[in-house]
Structure 1
Amino acid sequence: MSFNIALSGLNAAQKDLDVTSNNIANVNTTGFKESRAEFVDVYAASLLSSGKTKVGDGVLTADVAQQFSQGSIQFTNNALDLAITGNGFFATVPELGSLETSYTRAGQFKLNQDNFIVNSQGGHLLGFPVNPDGTSASVSLSTAEPIRIPTSSGAPQQSSEVDIRMNLPAGDAYISGAPGNFDQTDPLTFNHSTSVTVFDSLGDSHIMTYYFVKDDPSTNPNEWNVFAAIDGTMVDLVADPGLNNPIGGNASGPLSARPLPSPPYAAADRGVVGGKLQFDSSGDFINQIPSLANGGFITNPFGAGILSNGADPTQTVKIDFNLDVLAPNPNEPTQFASNFEVTSLQQDGLAVGRLTGIDIGTDGLVRATYSNGTSEPLSRIAMVNFANEQGLTQVGNTGWKESITSGEALAGEGGSGTFGTINSSALEQSNVNLTTELIDLISAQRNFQANSRALEVDNQLNQTILQIR
């Protein structure tokens, strides 16, 4: 019997050595969780035996339990390196369409040849589908799909509105003959100009220039004429697309204003329809002609003769001056006794964009950014937790699978409920404490030596018995 007890002690000490050696070997393995050998004594007694004199039958390895304590975080320069702070696992599948889900804390991800996010073993990282505003469409693991980074460029968007704020100098001199002699090629025929880049439906850029001409103060005080050009070609400013009339007519017409001199606003040997900005004596913007219900001027469709690349020829651009008829507004133009100053000039068009980067938030939202300044939510990294982490089945490569004792996988978003947060450009290191493991190694070695000695003593006793004559 004593042989068996000593032998069980040797086996237990060997198991302890194996576990400790495995921990030490994986001290630099990303996402590795240390194990602990847990032992129980063996005690068996028959119904009629004396329990008071029963010694025991040795030791038995009850479990090699994983310890899921948090590992330290190491920061990197790769946005696809991911670390979980708190509870949870990443979910991966070995290939597209597979339902064989594995779970890991190792976040060393990269892109494969098809632009899917995968780990070193080729496992595809799963994510929840998201809405255009970035909210999750579903947080069920059954709807999670491998995350793919798009290879296409960001789509262009044609400009439909330009928001402009500026100050027109009240002390500017009137240019004799203005606005009838306006010519965009002659700086002596206008007071000021400014430009903004706008985009057509194909994402091609065009320069839109605005010209401001002070009206005759003797007849129209505190009034300025406005003209617009696209790539040097003048375009008409109208109240509604399709209207191509010079400013004139009766007060009830959509282009109501005073009659123009003859010839009308000359530019490139043709009449040009302009607009008018009116201010009161305190410099407040009070009216614009032609009037537009929601403020601003609209360029007549400028595609014909300007766009030659196949873009939408019916494109118009609204020039919004943010008219507020109730009171002065900081978003409106002003006419003060100071220099010409443009304080805001923004448009809503976009050029064609190329993928410039991937941003991953602490909640797992994966967002693609493009060179045209736009960003697009792609997916939300699926987080998974279990009622009993130590019940997970180890499958190698720092991965685990669901088992009966672990309970079912519970999916959710990073940072919600009991789920931890996700750190991009970071990796979770092994939670192995090397100093502790070396001490445990010495302890296991001593235990092995002690049990070897017990086995040796048992052998000597047997030899003595066998030599009795």
Structure 2
Amino acid sequence: MGFGQGLSGLNAASQQLDVIGNNIANSGTVGFKSATATFADVYATSSKAGLGVQLTGVNQRFTVGTVSSTGGEFDMAIDGANGLFRVVDTSGNVMYTRNGQFLADKDSYLVNAQGYRLTGFGVTGNDLAPIMVPIGNIEPKATGSVTTRANLDANADLVYTADVPETLGRVVVTAPAAGTYYYRDDGTTISWYSDNAVPPTPMATPLGAGTYTTASGSFTLDASSQPASMQALKIASGTDQYEEAHIGHPFSPADPQSYTHSLPITAYDSLGNAHSVMQYFVKRATTPGGDSTWDVYYTVDGSTDNISPASSQLTFDSAGRLKTGDTATLTITGLGGTASPAADMNIAVSYAGSTQFGGDFSPSFTQDGYATGEYAGMTIGTDGAIVANYTNGQTKAVGYVALANFNNLQGLQAAGGNAWVETSASGQPIVGRPGTNSLATIKGQSVEESNVDISQELVNMIIAQRTYQANAQSIKTQDQVVQSLINMR
């Protein structure tokens, strides 16, 4: 018997304890992957008995650890088994890690605790480069379209552009009391006027009772100056339509009586400056076909000088549905003056879906422009999209995190700092965006904890301890046998 088997067993147990101890020591290391020692027996061709045990390798378990939320702006976890973050050191050496604890360095690059820069793709293309935190302002966007959807009150009063005189019945009396007289018939009574001005002048002394002759016939009034036969009076006057006088109100933003409803919208020019675009809805008389008509007037910053056209028109059918005028194109010029001139604006306005029902004016609108905004923070999408958030409420994708996978993860070589490097045994990396090509997705503001199972490691430690003790006892037994041989005479 020899001491080699026992010594190899002691060495193997010691190495196993080293692996277990390393696992336990890194149980709180983000992204750490626990390892197991693998062993094999040793034989010689000339020996029937084994020569002991040898360490054949230390294999890491690339199982997924628990994903925990941290709230860290730049923290990210790989939510699945396939994928490692690709990082580069200051010398350009590429390494791979599951540790998603990143921060922004002085040059605005995303780096880990070792200073390795996280790499990714641009918004377009597949070129890999270190990821930078998006800083500075987002460029403004000029308003190009406005969608206005509103209910216009069908019961609103008409607005007239010019004075409309009273439309009255008119009768020319030839005898007695020859003259021209005006009246309004409301169906039950007659009101007499001496003219049809705006408003008409009531007669101080209406016609008295009696029969009056006209060119079309005659009519009789009773003692209260009412016709004995209203129909006869209508025949005599040749009319039975009556309309009150209306004061005209040509459109003017300064005259609230010249429009029915108003709707302000903020639009943005090419420099991100805000401008107030007002829409004034004015109810007009119906068309000869019976459709309801609304004129829409426009101003920008309270003026009509630099906006064209000045107005458009909407028509609605008898069911209150928009019939014509669902689109209009506004051109706004001369914005910013000579100090900071902005490009001319062409705004497509849509009124599709607007109605004219008997209810209150209820508008809603959207517009697609915005002012510039300062960088406020960053979020990571499940697809690895790096999305910058700005103070104007806008977001902008500035790149994508890259993940790498290998055909043989066990072939990777540990490089310390919770990172691995590629070897010939691992094969070349398969790099892509998260969620594509079987790669895992990303969970932002989270990290993947160590996958060390403390309970299992403690059990393994007991087993390794027993193995060490048993091999020590084997050596002790061998020593006692040799001592017995020495003591023989």
Q: Corresponding residue for 1:229?
A: 299
Q: Corresponding residue for 1:77?
A: 71
2:328 alignment partner AA: G
Q: CA deviation at 1:380?
A: 1.9
Query: Which of the numbers 62, 70, 78 marks the counterpart of 2:56?
Result: 62
Q: Corresponding residue for 1:174?
A: 158
TM-score normalised to the size of structure 2?
A: 0.76
**How far apart in 2 are the matches of 1:392 and 1:381?**
21
**How far apart in 1 are the matches of 2:344 and 2:263?**
24
Q: Does the CA contact (< 8 Å) of 2:328 and 2:348 recur in 1?
A: yes
Q: Corresponding residue for 1:338?
A: 359
Query: Which of the numbers 126, 134, 149 marks the counterpart of 2:133?
Result: 149
**Secondary structure of residue in 2 paired with 1:406:** coil
Higher strand share: 2
Q: How does 1:316-335 map to 2 (within 5 A)?
A: 316-321=346-351, 331-335=352-356
Query: Which of the numbers 68, 76, 87 marks the counterpart of 2:82?
Result: 87
Q: Corresponding residue for 1:121?
A: 114
1:25 alignment partner AA: A
Q: CA deviation at 1:334?
A: 2.6
**How far apart in 1 are the matches of 2:115 and 2:343?**
48
Q: Corresponding residue for 1:185?
A: 254
Q: Corresponding residue for 1:255?
A: none
Q: CA deviation at 1:104?
A: 0.8
User: Does 1:43 pair with 2:43?
Assistant: yes
Deviations 1:94-116 (CA, angstroms, capped at 9, x unpaired)? 13xx5411011111112112221
**How far apart in 2 are the matches of 1:216 and 1:105?**
72
Q: CA deviation at 1:154?
A: 1.1
Q: Please list every run of 5 or more consecutive structure 1 residues that lacks an aligned counterpart in the other structure.
A: 132-136, 240-272, 289-293, 322-330
Q: How does 1:246-261 map to 2 (within 5 A)?
A: none
Q: Does the CA contact (< 8 Å) of 2:267 and 2:274 recur in 1?
A: yes
Q: Report the structure number with the largest CA radius of gyration.
A: 2
Q: CA deviation at 1:316?
A: 4.5
2:350 alignment partner AA: D
Residues 396, 237 of structure 1: CA spacing in aligned structure 2 closer, same or farther, 3 A cutoff?
Answer: closer
Identity of aligned residues (%): 37
**How far apart in 1 are the matches of 2:18 and 2:425?**
24
Q: Does the CA contact (< 8 Å) of 2:65 and 2:450 recur in 1?
A: yes
**How far apart in 2 are the matches of 1:435 and 1:381?**
35
Deviations 1:197-251 (CA, angstroms, capped at 9, x unpaired)? 1112211212222222223569997322322222222346545xxxxxxxxxxxx
Residues 357, 467 of structure 1: CA spacing in aligned structure 2 closer, same or farther, 3 A cutoff?
Answer: same
Q: Does the CA contact (< 8 Å) of 2:141 and 2:272 recur in 1?
A: yes
Q: CA deviation at 1:462?
A: 3.2
Q: How does 1:252-401 map to 2 (within 5 A)?
A: 273-288=310-325, 295-303=327-335, 307=337, 310-312=340-342, 314-321=344-351, 331-342=352-363, 344-401=364-421
Q: Corresponding residue for 2:457?
A: 437
Answer with 439-448 or 169-178: which moved more. Answer: 169-178
Residues 452, 347 of structure 1: CA spacing in aligned structure 2 closer, same or farther, 3 A cutoff?
Answer: same
State the superposition RMSD in angstroms: 2.5
1:214 alignment partner AA: K
**How far apart in 2 are the matches of 1:72 and 1:185?**
66
Q: Corresponding residue for 2:483?
A: 463
**How far apart in 2 are the matches of 1:229 and 1:159?**
15
Q: Does the CA contact (< 8 Å) of 1:275 and 1:297 recur in 2?
A: no
Residues 408, 169 of structure 1: CA spacing in aligned structure 2 closer, same or farther, 3 A cutoff?
Answer: same
Q: Corresponding residue for 2:213?
A: none
1:126 alignment partner AA: T
Query: Which of the numbers 105, 109, 130 marks the counterpart of 1:112?
Result: 105
Q: Does the CA contact (< 8 Å) of 2:334 and 2:341 recur in 1?
A: no
Query: Which of the numbers 408, 432, 438 marks the counterpart of 1:418?
Result: 438
**How far apart in 2 are the matches of 1:281 and 1:416?**
55
Q: Does the CA contact (< 8 Å) of 1:302 and 1:315 recur in 2?
A: no
Residues 170, 80 of structure 1: CA spacing in aligned structure 2 closer, same or farther, 3 A cutoff?
Answer: same
**How far apart in 2 are the matches of 1:109 and 1:313?**
42
Q: CA deviation at 1:302?
A: 4.8
**How far apart in 1 are the matches of 2:433 and 2:344?**
45
1:36 alignment partner AA: T
**How far apart in 2 are the matches of 1:297 and 1:68?**
60
Q: Does the CA contact (< 8 Å) of 1:201 and 1:311 recur in 2?
A: no
Answer with 103-112 or 351-360: which moved more. Answer: 351-360
Q: Corresponding residue for 1:165?
A: 149
Number of residue pairs the alignment of both structures matches? 402
Deviations 1:113-151 (CA, angstroms, capped at 9, x unpaired)? 2221111111111112233xxxxx22xxxx311111221
